[in-house]
Amino acid sequence: MKNSTPFNSGYIIGISFISALGGYLFGFDFAVIAGALPFLRQEFMLSPWWEGFLTGSLGLGCIAGCIAAGKIADGFGRKPGLMLAALIFAVSSIGMALSHGLMFFVCMRFAAGIGVGMASLLSPMYIAEVSPAAVRGRNVAINQLTVVIGILVTNVVNYFLANLGIDAWRWMFGFGVVPSLLFFAGVFWLPESPRWLVKAGYEERANAVLQKIGSASFAEHTLSDIHRSLLGVRKQPFRAVFEKGVRPAVIVGIILALFQQLCGINVVFNYTSTIFESVGASLDRQLFEMISIGVVNLVFTLLAMWQVDKLGRRPLMLIGSLGLSLLYVILALLLQGNASAVLLSVFVLLAIATYATTLAPVVWVLISEIFPNKIRGTASSVAIVFLWIGYFILVFTFPVLAEKLGTYGPFYLYAGICLLGFLFVKNKVKETKGQTLEELEQTLGGH
């Protein structure tokens, strides 16, 4: 497929952005906890163990959401799953805002995680399946863009809501219902994925969607590719994910997903207040640092969207993993030496910029690309389940490790993990830019 094929760019970007609103909700639930934690510590008298579990319960819900979404995606299509995720977001936001006990709050955060997990699987998958190869990396990165917009907007809102007193956290969580309902309304406008429609036997509907995306020749060529990739394929059992022909891609997907979380950056996002409190920063300063992180995250995600289809996936992963390893050692030394909040902020923001340009969007792009059509839904759900297992391990262990080792201690560990990630990418990850999903199926199948 040539890059010169005429596409309906406005339509493609429109449906990609609507699908990617699931990422906004992901960003909301991800960021809201950072602003709320200083209040929740007082409200529920949290020990380090409970602080980690309360924060990480989102990740446990995400695991359940991914498993459910994989089955929904393959059985009923991508669109119904996105609609269900939006409704779960809305209900859980209200539930967290009205919580009057720790266990009820944790249950509602777990429910929010189910919505996050579903969206984290379905949004990138949907965008990859409606995007031409030449712009697929950029379009899947739109999902990461909406995640970081969600983080930034939530951090700004939290900063102003913090003045409402001890119940400010209720308003922080309650505001999540607004984007949830907007997302639900937007999904009504989306067409179903043409690749799922062909697989389900709706040839004419798939052709109609493809002709909206590109020219008649593009539709014909893409339908031919999809049919070829599905030739002789029956409904796949779960064990098909681990069959010899696809096992190498699945293992790479799982390790990349785990690495994106265990690299440690989400400690900076979720525990900004803890990190800056350890060097004597006030609550107002802690909340301001969250806004700074959100702004840098957004700017460098835009840079990543521009580069992911130019530089390629592999170089960005190599730069990101090695860069973070070096920056974490510096951060650990600054925290250990009780450096000023201003100096600490500089290197925190450099770490955020590095991650936002590299590991953050590229891992999602790769997970959406490397699996064969016949098992993409199930294989993606397996990889993303491991991503959320990594997230839970990371955020659950940080408060406990920080209490035992000092706030600086875990950053030496994350530096080592990033170095191992660099070696893995260098030896095991192949470049995928500029190839159709069907072409990748042939080349990656030859590992």
CB-CB contact of 397 with 270 (8 Å): no
Domain limits, the chain: 9-190+232-444
Q: Which two tokens stand for residue 238?
A: 């779960």
CB-CB contact of 361 with 305 (8 Å): yes
431 burial type by CB count under 10 A (0-12 exposed, 13-18 middle, 19+ buried): exposed
In eight-state DSSP terms, residue 239 is: G
Alpha-carbon dihedral angle through residues 376, 394, 362, 141, given to the nearest 10 degrees: 80
pLDDT digits (tens, 9 = 90+) for 377-412: 778 878 888 988 999 999 999 999 999 999 999 999
Alpha helices by DSSP H, listed for 78-135, are 78-97, 102-130
Q: Which of 118, 94, 109 is nearest to 58 (CA)?
A: 109
pLDDT of residue 161: 93
pTM exceeds 0.85, yes or no: no
Tokens 């609103």 locate to 21
pLDDT digits (tens, 9 = 90+) for 158-209: 999 998 989 999 999 999 999 999 999 999 889 998 888 988 888 889 999 8
Angle (deg, nearest 10), helices 78-97 and 9-44: 30
Q: Which of 100, 90, 103, 113 is nearest to 33 (CA)?
A: 113
Q: How far apart are CA 74 and CA 16, in angstroms?
A: 20
CA angle 355, 293, 95 (to 5 degrees): 100
Helix, strand or coil, per DSSP, at residue 388: helix
pLDDT tens, per residue, the chain with 447 residues: 444 456 778 888 888 888 888 889 989 988 899 899 999 999 999 999 999 999 999 999 999 998 888 788 888 989 999 999 999 999 999 999 999 999 999 999 999 999 988 988 888 888 888 888 777 777 877 887 888 899 999 999 999 999 898 999 999 999 999 999 999 999 988 999 888 898 888 888 999 988 888 888 888 888 888 887 776 555 667 777 777 777 888 888 899 999 999 999 999 999 998 899 998 988 899 989 999 999 999 999 888 877 767 777 788 889 999 999 999 999 999 999 999 999 999 999 999 999 999 988 788 778 877 777 777 777 887 888 898 899 999 999 999 999 999 999 999 999 999 999 999 998 887 766 555 556 555 555 544
Q: How far apart are CA 322 and CA 312, in angstroms?
A: 17
pLDDT of residue 435: 59
Q: How far apart are CA 332 and CA 413, in angstroms?
A: 10
pLDDT of residue 432: 62
Query: What φ, ψ does residue 307 adopt, rounded to 5°?
Result: -100, -20
All residues at 6 or more sequence positions from 163 whose CB lies less than 8 Å from its CB, including other chains: none
Q: Which two tokens stand for residue 437?
A: 């999903």
Q: Which of 310, 301, 325 is nearest to 424 (CA)?
A: 325
The fold of 9-190+232-444 is Growth Hormone; Chain: A; (1.20.1250)
Q: Which of 57, 83, 268, 314 is nearest to 180 (CA)?
A: 83
Positive or negative torsion for Cα 273, 274, 277, 283: positive
